[in-house]
Each structure stands twice: as C-alpha cells, then as structure tokens.
Structure 1
Amino acid sequence: LALFELLIATRRPGKALPNKEEIVQALYPGEPFDDQRVRHTMSFLLKNIEQFLAHQVIFENGHFVQAKLAEAYRRRNLPDQFQRTLAALKKTHEGSPLRHADHYWAGYEIQLQDYLFTATTRRSTELNLQEIGDQLDLAFLALKLRQSCVALSHQAVFKTDYDFGLLKEVLDYIEKENLLELPAIGVYYHCYQALTKATETVHFQSFKKMLYLHDGAFPLAESRDLYLLAINFCIRRYNEGSAGFLAEEFELYKTALEKNILLVNGALSRFTYQNVVTLGLVLGEYDWVEDFLENYTQLLETRFRAANHSFNLARLEYFRRRFDKALDLLQRSDYEDLLLNLSAKTLLLKIYFETAEFNALDSLLDSMSNFVRRKKAIGYHRDNYLNLVRLMKKLLQTPIGDKAAREKLATEIAETKSVAEREWLLEKLEKGI
C-alpha cells in the first residue's frame, strides 16, 4: 500500500516515476538497498492491482456474481441459502427486459445450477435437462448469428474472407424451428440476410423493422452496434449507386438519436454529430438540422462544442445560401482541430466561389496549399486537399465557353483518386459547359 501511495503521489505529467533506489529511500529509510525486496514488493502490488481490476469488471455483471454465489452455496451444501439465491436470480432474470444472446446464456447457467443441486439432493425428481438444452441452443444460435454479422461487416470493409463454420446449419435450423420472433435471433438473422443479399431490400426492411421494434431488448452498447450495422449498410448501398439509402440512413440516425442509443457515457461523438448534419443538409432538412444543432450540441464533449457548433451552423447557412452569415461564423471562430480547420477552409473556398470573390479565393487557395504541405500529421487527407486546390485552380482558369476543355477537366476530376468536394467541383464545372 505504501508503494502504491508513493507512486500516486509522485505521478505527474512529464515527470519520471521514482527509480528503485528512490523507492527504497522512501519506503525503508536508512536501510540498505535490496533489489530483490523491491522487485518482490512491486510484483505483489501489481498482482493486487490486477485482482482489483478483475474484481471491478466481475461485479459490473450482477447476474454473474449472483450465479457464482449460488454455486458457492451449492458446493458448501447450504441448501436454504442456495435456493434463496437461485430464486432471486430467476426472478431478476425473468423480469429483465433484455432478450439478447447473453440473456439466454444466463438462463442456461441458472438451469445448470438448478440441475446440479437437484441431481444430488432429490434423485427421484424429474430433472430440468430439457430446459438446459433449450437455453443452451438459443444462446448458441444468437451468439453465432451476432458474431457472423460482425464478421461480415468487417469482411466488407477490410476485404478479408472468414470461414463461417456451422452458420448454414444454424440458418436452416432457425428457419425450420420458426425462431425469428425472438429478438436475439430475428434481428441478427435479418441483418445477416441483408448483408449477404444486399440488392434484395426486403431483408434490410425486415432488419430495420425488427430493430425499431426490439432495440430495447438489447443492452445499450449492443443496440448502438446494431444501428451502426444498419447505418453502414446504407452507406455501402448509397456508395454503390442506390440514392434512396441516404434517406434510410438519415431515418436510422434520427431514430437512434431520439432513443439516446448513440450516446456513449452520456456524450455524443463529434463524428456522429458531423455525419448527422451532413445527411440533413444533403437531404434539404434545414429546419431539422437547425433544431439538432440547438438541442444536441450540449451533448458533445465540452472541448469540441464551440468549434463544431459554429462550423456546422456555418454549413447550414451556406446551404440556405445565406453566405454573409456563413462567412461571419467562419471568421469569428478558431478551429484548432486540424481536420475541422481544413473543412472550414474548404467551406470558405466554396463561399468565395459562390460570391465571385476571386481575389480572396486565389489567396485562400495558395495559403491552403501551404498549410496542407506544412502539416505532416493529416495522412491520406493531404492528397484530398492538395488535389482540391489544384483542380479548383484549373476550374478557375478554364473558360466558361470552352466546352472541350471543361469536359476534359470533368474527366480529370472524376478520375482523380483522392479529392475533397469532388461532387461540388463537378457540379460547378457542369454549369459552365
């Protein structure tokens, strides 16, 4: 304990922790240095910290703790305490609104403890072996489907092939036994079918319908993962050319926001915030976006609120073609975040173009190019913005009446691998052809 208190007391940002000699001087003043003693003390402290961390995680799961308590009473042959604990456990389990895979696994554990107790105390009593098997089957089916959906989603992004093992037999069994009404099975079954048969929209609609109906049957983190699976599906379908999925994605975000499903520890991710605003603006839902900015900005982490609110409010004013207001918001804000700063510069670029402020635009393009070249930490975004600057300069230099030149530039924009605001550039170019 003394070593732990010493480490906590001396822990400071940028300052090294005490070395072994300093530890001995602090813990055992006047005693000679003993390396083995210090290492033993440090090892003992580490083991206790690890046990404490494990203890914290274990006790977050109330069912697990009570199930292990029941097991302990059974092993010690304390029938009254066992039955009281198991009865309370059953009541809590049956009263829970959750019906996810872990719920059925918990049911299996309860039935197993009941069986192990009954089998050793009342040999002539009918045993609950069927109930054990049923709960185990449901837990396995639900877990297998859940894991398969996660693997499929990952596979689509990272181009990795997974072996799904018994999944075909699992799907056949679920269909034969009519288990689709169970949320833990039905939601993931339709999710799997949507992911593997993307062009058959009936599966996505069934997935979405069950998700809306049963999202309360899953823990918050799992509900969030399910909504993100659905949202990512919509993004993929939209990128493949199915424009209607943009509205589907927006609807999913709105529903999840209304139910507070997208919050993590009470906070909304600034990336989710940005995505929602983008969708609303593209779909022309300007009043809704204004309400969203008013009501949800407070859910961002404090350090991100002011900059993200002013930038997205500027985007809203830009889409409403109130360029003076958008410009004022951009010029009054300080965007310390590198990518947000670049996004603000890009919006400013578009405003200068729309308002024919070409001198200001030329100056901005040069400063933006220098800014991007200086910042080595932006990774792949570097090419996006440098290509934007390069192609924007070409657009400004291409005469409006020169159809051939503008068509050539349109082809270059379309074929450039990485470029920010590609659609906007093509739109502005097309107006001059």
Structure 2
Amino acid sequence: MIQHKLIDLLRQFNRKEMTRFREFVHSPYFNKHRDVRALTQYLDSCYPEFSAFQCDRYRVYKKVFPRKAHDQGKLAVVFTYTYRLAEQFLAQEMLRSGEAETNHLLLRGMRQVKAFELYQKVLDRSGAQLENAGEQSSTHWWHRYQMASERDYFLNHIIAKRDLSGLNVMEEQLDRFYLAEKLKNAVEAQVRRNMVKVETESRMLDSAVREVAENLEVYRNIPAIYLYYKLFEMLREKDHRHYYEALQELKSGESCFPPPERASLYNYFQNYCIREINQNNLEFLQELFRLYQSQLEQELLLEEGYLSEWHYKNIVTVGLRLEELDWVHEFIRTYRDRLRPEVADNAYRFNLAAYYHEAKVYGKVLDLLIKVEYRDPRYNLGAKALLLRTYYELEEDEALYSLVDSFLQYLQRNQKMSDARREGFYHLFRMTRRAAHIRSRLGYDKKEKTAKDLDRLKRELETTGGILNQSWLEAKMDEIAKYC
C-alpha cells in the first residue's frame, strides 16, 4: 500500500471538501497536469476508506497511466504535485471564508496594476464593512489596522495628502490589536501555568496590563480588550468578584466574538467553576449549570453538528446534583439525537440510568446498566459507581460486597489510572461497604456501638480528600445517624 502524506491529508477531508478538491484540481487555472487530474479522480473514488487494496501502488499506477509500464518514480512525482495542490486548495478555502483577508489582497492587487479609481471604491467598501462588523475579536482589529495602512497609503501616495491623519488611525488600530492579543495570550498562559505549574515570562505583559488598568474607560467598549483583562484578573486574583464581573462582560459582549472563540471563553468560566466546586464551593455548581445552558442555547458545544457524549454526561451530572430532575430528563431525551450515532445508545442508557437513580426508580437503573457497553473505561468506572450506590439503596448487601471486592481488585490491576482518580474510587467503594455493614447491624448492635462506628467513619470521611460522590456518602451516614 502507498504510504503518502497526500492520502493522510485526504482522509481528514469531509465529503464536501473532497468534492471541492476534485473540482479545484480540474480547474485549468490551478492545474494543467492531466496525470494529477487522473490521480485525484481515482482517489476521490477511494474516499473515505483508502483501503490497502485500493491504494496498492501497482493498482494506482494503472489507474493513472493505464497503458504504460510501471514507473514508481513517475508516480511519486504525480503524488508530490497533487499534494502541493491539496495545500493550495486548503489555503484557497480559508481565503474564501475570510472576507477581510480577501479585500486586503484585492487592494494590494489593485495597487499593483494601478487601478486607483477602483481601488478607492474597494477601500471605502471594505472600511464600511469593518466599521459595521458585529464580531470584533482581536483579529478584527488586525484587519482594521491593515485597512488603515491601505488608507494611509492612498492618502500619501495616490492623492498626495501629506499629513498624519492616516498614520494616527493606523497606530490606534495596531494598539488595539496588540492589547487584545496580548491579554488573550496572557489568559491562556495563566490557565496553562495553573495546570502544569511552570512559570512563563512575557517582558511586555506588565505594561499592557497597566495600560488597560489605568485607562479602563477608554477600553470599556472594546470587548476584545476589556473582557480578556477581566478574565486575566479572574485567574490571577483569588476573589470571586472578578468571576462575576468578567461573566457580565461576556454576556453583554458575546456577540462580538465568533462562535469558536466564544466557546473558548465559556470554557475559561467552566474551568473556574469546576475548580471552585472541587474546593467545595458549591455555589458554583449552579453557575456551571447556567454556563452549560447558555452554551446549549447558542450551540457552542456542538462539534460538526454533534454534542460530545462527555458534554452530555457532564451536563446530566451537574443537573442531577442540583436536583433539576425534570430538566435533566427532558435534556437526556432531546439531545439523544444530537449525539454521534455510534455512541448515542450507550450514552443515552448510561445517563438515563443516572437519572433514574436520582429519581429513586432503582429497578430501571439495573435494567439500563445491563445494556451499557463498557468499552470506554469512563463508562466502566461510572457505571460501577452507579451500581454501587443502587445496591446500597436497595439494601442488596451481598451484591454490594461482591461488587466492592471485584472492583478493588480491578483498581489494583489497573495501573493506567491516575493516582488521584484511583484513590477517589477506592475510598468511595471502601467507605460505602463500611456504611452498608453498619446499617446492616442496626437492631443487632447497641446504639452506642453503632454511634461509635459511624463517628469513626465520618471522621475518616472528613480527613480523606478527593472522595467521589462524597455528598452522597455523607447523606447516607446522616440517615444511619437517625437510628442512633
């Protein structure tokens, strides 16, 4: 089978992109090589499998050169030409999607051919489009700078108006782009610094932050600067006030950012909430839920039209923790069809089982979990934890003890799991078994012994960090305490 970067690249194309690439190659403006057209036509027929049989070098050669003796070097040259066209195709596709980039290149082209009368019309039209643009991310200000540069050229070299007006506008737009991009990178650096505990240096960041901090009113109406400044404060200073201020800025200016960047912005807030929830600041559970709802309304969580099964699971988990049972049940049903077909049934059953557990319909939990496929370790672990809690609620103690024994053996064998995750599951299963044992002795042991055993378990729960489903465990212990 031919191993070539051309085939690797074409595998990543969707059907529309593959069709457009074939049309691109058949355009005589971009390609005049008949052999390249023949190769592309054949590879299009192989899409998307590109199997070993289809891509056998001798088979491919016969399709491209049907009546010629095999010449591997000749075929390699055609592959190289075609790959270069594929790169050019991707660049053209990006150019088609960017009106501002196209206008700038058009202006440069008109300058080159000295079409100055038409140049001025395109310049005015392009400037108006940018002025009225709804989205104003940092890239927007870069395009404004480029357009200001073209206008300054027009003023100074075409109509010979020798003043500083065009240059002043250029400087203003460049400053806005620089500050927006600098603060955007600073936010991302702060996030990564918190994750990997590595210090990064930026010689000019302090001056950029100081410029915005000392002139807040100047930048307040420029979301690409002001919002990222507020985000930087949120991540740098431990004061929840910055979270709420930054979130308010996002809500008031989110239409200024294209959907991919808007999704990234929401992700910063999500991660902040998750960090606070992990530190037991449960007020941020409701905040996280609202963030998910906002993203669902704007379809920011969809990738190629599909909702990730893990977003699906996380949203269900947060909703259930907030006891939003009706909302969660409707969400599970509604978004089943937005999941990728190959994972939809599995994700639906698992999350519906989680819903029925919170709704205390434990029989349906067991029926659904039997049908869940455990090829992904995350489903396996989540299902086992859900099964544990269900056995406890049903007082199926023998089944619970058996599950705990087998699961603890599984944890010992599985060395790929992170230590923190392993510890979290280990303590959940171990302490649930002890709670079940204490409960099973109610009416047999003296109340003083039960209270002593329960108090010991509670103290251990309080001093052990990172226990999964800790609030559920605490609730079960409180139920036992009523009998003491």
For residues 357 and 292 of structure 1, the distance between their equivalents in structure 2, rounded to whole angstroms, comes to 31
> Residue 300 of structure 1 aligns with which residue?
339
Are 1:101 and 1:184, in contact at CA under 8 Å, matched by a contact in 2? Answer: yes
Q: How does 1:79-228 map to 2 (within 5 A)?
A: 79-126=116-163, 127-177=165-215, 178=217, 179-198=219-238, 200-228=239-267
Paired residue for 1:3, among 34, 39, 64? Answer: 39
Are 2:388 and 2:429, in contact at CA under 8 Å, matched by a contact in 1? Answer: no
Paired residue for 2:397, among 358, 370, 384? Answer: 358
Q: Secondary structure at the match of 1:124?
A: coil
For residues 288 and 427 of structure 2, the distance between their equivalents in structure 1, rounded to whole angstroms, comes to 29
Paired residue for 1:245, among 262, 284, 288? Answer: 284
Q: CA deviation at 1:411?
A: 6.0
Pair 1:355–1:20, CA change in 2 (3 A): closer
Pair 1:25–1:291, CA change in 2 (3 A): closer
Q: How does 1:252-331 map to 2 (within 5 A)?
A: 252-331=291-370
Q: CA deviation at 1:88?
A: 2.2
Work out the number of aligned pairs and report it: 432
For residues 371 and 134 of structure 2, the distance between their equivalents in structure 1, rounded to whole angstroms, comes to 49
Q: Secondary structure at the match of 1:114?
A: helix
Are 2:183 and 2:229, in contact at CA under 8 Å, matched by a contact in 1? Answer: yes
Are 1:269 and 1:300, in contact at CA under 8 Å, matched by a contact in 2? Answer: yes
For residues 35 and 324 of structure 1, the distance between their equivalents in structure 2, rounded to whole angstroms, comes to 65
Are 1:180 and 1:189, in contact at CA under 8 Å, matched by a contact in 2? Answer: no
Q: CA deviation at 1:255?
A: 2.3
- Select between 66-75 and 158-167 the one with higher mean Cα deviation: 158-167
For residues 396 and 286 of structure 1, the distance between their equivalents in structure 2, rounded to whole angstroms, comes to 26
> Residue 87 of structure 2 aligns with which residue?
50
The one-character-per-residue Cα deviations of 1:219-261 (angstroms, maximum 9, x if unpaired) are 0011111111011111112223322222222222222222333
Pair 1:124–1:4, CA change in 2 (3 A): closer
For residues 28 and 13 of structure 1, the distance between their equivalents in structure 2, rounded to whole angstroms, comes to 19
> Residue 41 of structure 1 aligns with which residue?
78
> Residue 103 of structure 2 aligns with which residue?
66
Q: CA deviation at 1:75?
A: 1.7
Matched, 1:232 2:232: no
For residues 34 and 19 of structure 1, the distance between their equivalents in structure 2, rounded to whole angstroms, comes to 14
For residues 386 and 71 of structure 2, the distance between their equivalents in structure 1, rounded to whole angstroms, comes to 64
Paired residue for 2:384, among 324, 345, 350? Answer: 345
CA RMSD of the aligned region, Å? 3.0
Letter in 1 for 2:198: T
- Select between 15-24 and 176-185 the one with higher mean Cα deviation: 15-24
Pair 1:416–1:19, CA change in 2 (3 A): farther
> Residue 21 of structure 2 aligns with which residue?
none
Are 2:307 and 2:339, in contact at CA under 8 Å, matched by a contact in 1? Answer: yes
Q: CA deviation at 1:145?
A: 0.8
Q: CA deviation at 1:209?
A: 0.6
Q: Secondary structure at the match of 1:71?
A: helix
Q: CA deviation at 1:186?
A: 1.4
Are 1:277 and 1:312, in contact at CA under 8 Å, matched by a contact in 2? Answer: yes
For residues 377 and 299 of structure 1, the distance between their equivalents in structure 2, rounded to whole angstroms, comes to 31
The one-character-per-residue Cα deviations of 1:292-339 (angstroms, maximum 9, x if unpaired) are 223333322223333222322222222122323433443455555442
Letter in 2 for 1:191: L
Letter in 2 for 1:243: L
Q: Secondary structure at the match of 1:128?
A: helix
Q: CA deviation at 1:346?
A: 2.2
Letter in 2 for 1:88: R
Q: CA deviation at 1:109?
A: 0.8
For residues 375 and 276 of structure 1, the distance between their equivalents in structure 2, rounded to whole angstroms, comes to 28
For residues 392 and 146 of structure 1, the distance between their equivalents in structure 2, rounded to whole angstroms, comes to 45
Instruction: Name the TM-score, length of structure 2 as normaliser.
Output: 0.79
Letter in 2 for 1:174: V
Identity score, percent: 26
Pair 1:54–1:377, CA change in 2 (3 A): farther
Matched, 1:424 2:463: no
Q: CA deviation at 1:194?
A: 0.8
Q: CA deviation at 1:151?
A: 1.1
Are 2:43 and 2:50, in contact at CA under 8 Å, matched by a contact in 1? Answer: no
Q: Secondary structure at the match of 2:307?
A: coil
Pair 1:202–1:389, CA change in 2 (3 A): closer
Are 1:155 and 1:161, in contact at CA under 8 Å, matched by a contact in 2? Answer: yes
Pair 1:125–1:196, CA change in 2 (3 A): same
Are 2:400 and 2:433, in contact at CA under 8 Å, matched by a contact in 1? Answer: no
Are 2:223 and 2:253, in contact at CA under 8 Å, matched by a contact in 1? Answer: yes
